[in-house]
Structure 1
Amino acid sequence: MPSAWDGVAFCLVAGTLALVVYGARKMSAPLESVTAASISLSPAALPEYALRTTLRMFAALAASLLFTFTYATAAAKSRRAEVVLIPILDVLQSVPVLGFLSFTVVGFLALFPGSVAGAECAAIFAIFTAQAWNMAFSFYQSLRTIPEDLDEATRSFRLSAWQRFWRLEVPFAMPALIWNMMMSMSGSWFFIVASEAISVGNTTITLPGIGAYVALAIEQRNLGAVGYAIVAMLVVIIAYDQLLFRPLVAWAQKFRFEQTVGQAAPGVWLLRVLNRARLVQFALVPVQMGIEKVAHAPMSLRSWRPGRSGAGPLWLGRLWNFVWWGGWGAVALFGAHALYTELHGHIDVTEVLIAFKLGSMTLARVIVLVALASLVWVPIGVWIGLRPALAMRMQLIAQILAAFPANLFFPVAVVAILQFGLNPNIWLSPLMVLGTQWYILFNVIAGASAFPNDLRDVASNLRVRGWQWWYRVMLPGVFPYFVTGGLTASGGSWNASIVAELVVWGSTRLEANGLGSYIAKATLAGDYPRIILGVMVMSAFVTVFNRLVWRPLHAYAERRLRMI
């Protein structure tokens, strides 16, 4: 018989579906309806704006998960693919959201002429670019550090590649991936203004949402409206934390790698409701059976390797290598020719040198901020991650802090800098840390949460304490996760420089010298050659820095610090 819990579960499910359907219908409105004049600063408009923004963020999150499971898996499984895909991911991570918008918004609008669906796709894609990269890096790192005994167990049971993926690799990576999903959602708030208030040259589109609301409030210097936007954002974060991420974190506790009895997962009210709702349990049975059949199907996806017995003749493998590298070489040559055609006659050597000089200024800020964030948040992340109950309480606070867009701090920054006569080149830099520190914190929490209890017990029995405990036990345990967080933090800082180095509050404009302000000014002016140059220089800085610093650290963590 149905119980009261079924009524609660039905209201939650039905209400969620109704909101999704309502928001989806709004995405097919005429394009003429999405202008700056259509945005109202009335608090009564915020519930609908919050719904529209949330749907865009979750659509981007779904696309990011699909990208993660395919792209990161290909990079981790194939050495040939890794050589190409990881550098591409470095470049994609370094391209700012404004850079993606500059070149994609026109294409999306052409796909849906006269409809707001094209602008919605452009906004979702922009949010996707703020979410996907750190999730992909996290999943890639997890696949490369799977303990050897678990890997040998799956081979002993003769699991197919498909079964191994769903029964070992995804569960092992799930705790870190969920924390990075939370970081992705919070990080996308950082660029929600640019995603919903799209202004590229003569193209101006304002989609109803919290981001567009904040953009209008900043333009009109309306502090009251900024406060309403903060409240709406807090309500949305609390809602999806309670309904999605808190249950996911509790559920992921069963995937921790340890050989002793683990700690009990903290209770979550939503899981209790769903477990006690009889109709929900009955309805989920066929869904669970379907998922089990798909995930555990004996599909053979073994990678083909030339030169092995039964794998085909060696000449065929060499032909495949020629086709693979020749194809990528052709793509590189085509891209180089397209860039030369676009930049020739518009950009000279002096402009290139200026861009590299500004890039070195932004690089200095990024290095300092990542170092400071590491010193502050690694100990805090370890302290939180080792206490599951505390981690459950702190995850909401961390998401709220990570979600605050830098735009909301513009009034404070502008007033303080003007009031005390401060140097914008120095004091606008703290705005960049908003896009830096949280990647480190979330990944370190994930690493500490996944640290096996049996290793902690061994350290305790051997009386390993103080600095030796950090140096011998905990820092090696969380180091692979820190590398992922540091790598994505660097990319987050470069992206944050677009917002932080050029601050506008009403008619007041403050600028710090750097590549971020260079790209921001070029985007506002619709100067595509300088946008391309700025993005190229930023990609070059990020790629070289990753190759010289983060890649060697990642290789060291994979070689020396994996669980065996």
Structure 2
Amino acid sequence: MLCCVMANGGGGSGRVRGFPTHGVWRRPGLRWTDALVAAALLGLLYGVLRLAPALDAPFLPDTAPSTVSTDPVHLPYYAARSLLRMFAALVLSVLFTLVYATVAARVRRAERVMLPVLDILQSIPVLGFLSITGTAFLRLFPGSVLGLECAAVFAIFTAMAWNMTFALYASLVSQPADLDAAARLMRLTRWQRFWRLDVPGGMIPLIWNGMMSFGGAWFFLAASESLSVLGHRYALPGLGSYAATAIRAGDLGQVGLAIAVTAVLVIGVNALFWRPLTVWSERFRMDEVPPAERVTSRSLVLDILRRSAVPGLLARPLRPAATALDHATRPLGRTPRAAAGPAPRTRGGPRVLLPGAAAVLAALAGWRALAYLHDTVGLGELGHALGLGALTLSRVVVLVAVATLVWVPIGVWIGLNPPVTRFAQPVIQVLAAFPANLLFPFAAAVFLTWHIPLNLGAVLLMALGAQWYILFNVIAGAAAIPADLREATASLGVRGAVRWRTFLLPAVFPAYVTGGITAAGGAWNASIVGEVVQYGDHTLTATGLGAYITEATANGEVPKILLGISVMALYVVAVNRLLWRRLYALAETRYRL
């Protein structure tokens, strides 16, 4: 080919034996999409650099403000600070999810410890993390507001990470056996298996649950930015602290303004970030015959990114690291059995000694906790906290049961109809991501006017922050059902109740279990803000464990805080072990595609 070009001369017709060569040897010019993406990245970097000096400002605990200014002129700055915290927590949550879920699903011995630990972490409310980690971060960064920023980001992280981890873990343990066998026969390295099988196979539930977790974090933004640490209240500039200040002042106009700005942020983040991700994730469906209508699912932002060369240029420096990890995780044996895959169960000391050592440590920790409780508030307080926990548990059970009956059929219908999904998804995302606790003052006004006790109304308030986990997971599970299975049931004439009982419900069962366990955990967390509602000079309090922890945190009563968190963890872990873990095992063994 090179000889032909030289024979034609440098300035001839620009053709090689009838084939056009114009522009072949030139690099493609700068396209408008490249300029747009580069300008957006530079603008984002500029905004982060402008906010960076405020993240390390001087901080004096004795003189730190407990409220923020409610002047509307500060709202753009508050919105930028809140978004930065949210995305920082999202990055940490994704990294935690990829590592924790993969190890728990692939290393059987570690799974015995990591899943109970995850249950306990999910059961600890955001206020519980703040009361413990807030002091640690303040001491880690003395004299700097960076300590409070880290505490706020960590609190938001705790509202995101557990749901995403459960979703990816459920996807890994229910991975199709033929794909696992193919990975072994092809002798994929652990790194190749992770990026070519594990992550793509769990991408749809991971993105949907990440979207749900991001929305749930808005729910706890006020508690994360208006921190109460050992009886002292500190406020960080942000939408959450702005709303908390307006709620305490009883100014419904400023609360409405915070709601409007938050709605704009939620819609903007959905359009610019989550919508492109959900459309991109459609490429990971395990469909042999993808529906034709799915092609029409579009995102303008994703189209621009696909036409731009900037993402590829940014990813190029990461390729050497990926190559090194590929070589480092290459299997050493010659047989397919040696290929990367789930670690086989082996007999030996660690398998027996690790649970035994954990049981001994748990017994010692329990004994020390009882001794501490006896010396501080008395053992009688334990019975009182257990009774309050039973009341909150009853609200959680009612919430999950009603949400299951309502949202499972709706979620299946939405997930099986791509045109409906494209229409309903943005609406559901906005509703789920909207911080419902901003509506609590209005709900409190209604409860006071209609004389509705908060013991009943707390179920509704908790549902506003927890029900979406079931809906999102069921939609994702229904949308991931292979099209050939749908067509097979249709060709066999399976319809009505038989279709639901034998096909649809079993197909979405693994996704529902993930949504159910995270909805229950979200309901326990939502009880912290749903059982105590403040509206100006009025404070409505329900009888329950959430109100107990909230009041103890506000008063700086460390023994009661630890007692309330421990009782909540006890209830959550007991329900997870007795119910949800068994349903997980059932989903893995019987309802696995």
User: Given the two structures, how large is their TM-score scaled by the length of structure 2?
Assistant: 0.88
Q: Conserved in 1, the CA contact under 8 Å of 2:524 and 2:546?
A: yes
Aligned match for 1:20, one of 30, 43, 48: 48
Amino acid at match of 2:297: P
Change beyond 3 A, Cα 1:31–1:170: same
Q: Deviations over 1:30-69 (max 9, x none)?
A: 1249944662212221111111111111111111111111
2:479 aligns with 449
Q: Measure, in 2, the Cα distance between the counterparts of 1:291 and 1:374.
A: 44
Letter in 1 for 2:38: F
Which digits, 9 at most, give the CA deviation of each residue in 1:121-151, with x for residues without a partner? 0001101110011111001100000001111
Matched, 1:474 2:504: yes
Higher mean C-alpha displacement, 230-239 vs 181-190? 230-239
Q: Distance in 2 between matches of 1:385 and 1:169?
A: 22
Answer whether contact 2:466 2:522 (CA < 8 A) is retained. yes
Structure 1 window deviating more from structure 2 (399-408 vs 78-87): it is: 399-408
Aligned residue number for residue 440 of structure 1:
470
Contact 1:413–1:428, Cα closer than 8 Å, also in 2? no
CA change 1:270–1:222 in 2 (3 A) is same
Match of 2:264 in 1: 235
Q: Distance in 2 between matches of 1:68 and 1:381?
A: 25
Q: 2: distance between equivalents of 1:301 and 1:534?
A: 48
| Segment drifting more, 12-21 vs 519-528 | 12-21
Aligned amino acid, residue 553 of structure 2: T
Secondary structure of the equivalent of 2:534? Answer: strand
Taking the aligned partners of 2:584 and 2:567, their CA distance within structure 1 comes to 24
2:189 — aligned with what?
A: 160
Partner amino acid, structure 2, of 1:543: V
Residue deviations 1:460-495 (CA, integer Å, cap 9, x gap): 111211222211211111110000000010010011
1:23-102 → structure 2 map (5 Å cutoff): 23-32=51-60, 35-36=64-65, 39-102=68-131
| Residues 1:558 and 1:12: Cα distance change in structure 2 (over 3 Å) | same
Match of 1:2 among 30, 42, 49: 30
Identity %: 47
What is the alpha-carbon distance in structure 1 between the residues aligned to residue 64 and residue 491 of structure 2?
65
The amino acid across from 1:8 in the alignment is L
Aligned position for 1:267: 298
Residue type of the alignment partner of 1:24: A
Q: Which amino acid counterpart does residue 34 of structure 2 have in structure 1?
A: D
Cα distance between partner residues in 1 of 2:201 and 2:97:
15
Q: What is the CA–CA distance in structure 2 between the aligned matches of 1:562 and 1:265, rounded to whole Å? A: 29
CA contact (8 A) 1:443 1:485 kept: yes
Residue 179 (structure 2) aligns with: 150
Which protein has the larger Cα radius of gyration, Structure 1 or Structure 2?
Answer: 2
Corresponding position: 1:492 with 2:489:
no
Pairwise CA distance, 1:25:
2.7
Query: What is the aligned partner in structure 1 of residue 587 from structure 2?
Result: 557
What is the CA deviation profile of residues 48-93 of structure 1, one whole-angstrom value per residue up to 9, with x for unaligned ones?
Answer: 1111111111111111111111111121112221111111111111
> Structure 1 residues 243-252 or 403-412, which shifts more?
403-412
Could you state the TM-score of these two structures normalised by the residue count of structure 1?
A: 0.92
> Distance between the aligned counterparts of 1:290 and 1:272, measured in 2?
28
Aligned CA RMSD, in angstroms, stands at 2.3
Q: 2:156 aligns with which of 127, 133, 158?
A: 127
d(CA) in 2 for partners of 1:178, 1:249: 7
Deviation at 1:327, TM superposition (A): 5.2
Q: Is the 8 A contact 2:174 2:592 kept in 1?
A: yes
- Structure 2 gaps, min length 5: 1-28, 339-345
Residue number in structure 2 paired with 1:105: 134
Partner of 1:506: 536
1:311 corresponds in structure 2 to none
How far 1:379 moved relative to its partner?
A: 1.5
User: What is the CA–CA distance in structure 2 between the aligned matches of 1:335 and 1:382, rounded to whole Å?
Assistant: 44
Query: What's the counterpart of residue 415 of structure 2?
Result: 385
| Alignment correspondent of 1:218 | 247
Report the Cα distance in structure 2 between the residues aligned to 1:37 and 1:536, rounded to whole angstroms. Answer: 28
* Structure 1 residue runs without a partner (length 5+): 309-315
Question: Would the aligned equivalents of 2:67 and 2:241 in 1 still touch at CA under 8 Å?
Answer: no
What SS does the corresponding residue of 1:114 show, helix, strand or coil? coil
Distance 1:392 1:228 in 2: 29
In structure 2, which of residues 398, 402, 423 is the aligned counterpart of residue 368 of structure 1? 398
User: AA paired with 2:510?
Assistant: P
1:385-424: CA deviations, max 9, x gaps? 1233433443332222123334322222222222122222
1:239-254 alignment to 2 at 5 Å?
239-254=268-283
Q: Distance in 1 between matches of 2:330 and 2:370?
A: 45
Give the alignment of 1:260-299 within 5 angstroms: 260-262=289-291, 263-264=294-295, 266-277=297-308, 279-280=309-310, 283-284=313-314, 286-287=316-317, 289-290=319-320, 293=323, 296-297=326-327, 299=329
Given that 2:123 and 2:572 are in contact with CA atoms closer than 8 Å, whether structure 1 keeps it comes out as: yes
Any idea what the Cα deviations from partners look like across 1:301-360, whole Å, max 9, x if unmatched? Answer: 799xxxx9xxxxxxx974544664465356435533552453232232321111111111
Aligned equivalents of 1:212, 1:129: Cα separation in 2: 18
Query: In structure 2, how many angstroms separate the alpha carbons of the residues matched to 1:333 and 1:545?
Result: 20
Q: Is the contact made by 1:384 and 1:390 (CA closer than 8 Å) also made in structure 2?
A: yes
How far apart are residue 22 of structure 1 and its match? 2.1
Counterparts of 2:541 and 2:244, CA distance in 1: 18
Deviates more, 1:144-153 or 1:540-549: 540-549
Distance 2:471 2:495 in 1: 23
> Deviation at 1:384?
1.7
Is 1:537 aligned with 2:570?
Answer: no
Looking at structure 1, the residues matched to 167 and 33 of structure 2 have their Cα atoms a distance apart, in angstroms, of 37
Measured after TM superposition, the shift of residue 265 of structure 1 is 6.0
8 Å contact kept, 1:265–1:388? no
1:517 maps to 2:547: yes
Greater shift in the superposed pair: 358-367 or 333-342 = 333-342
Q: Is the 8 A contact 2:445 2:535 kept in 1?
A: no
**Displacement after TM superposition at 1:455 (Å):** 0.5
User: Structure 1 pair 139/465, CA: closer, same or farther in 2 (3 Å)?
Assistant: same
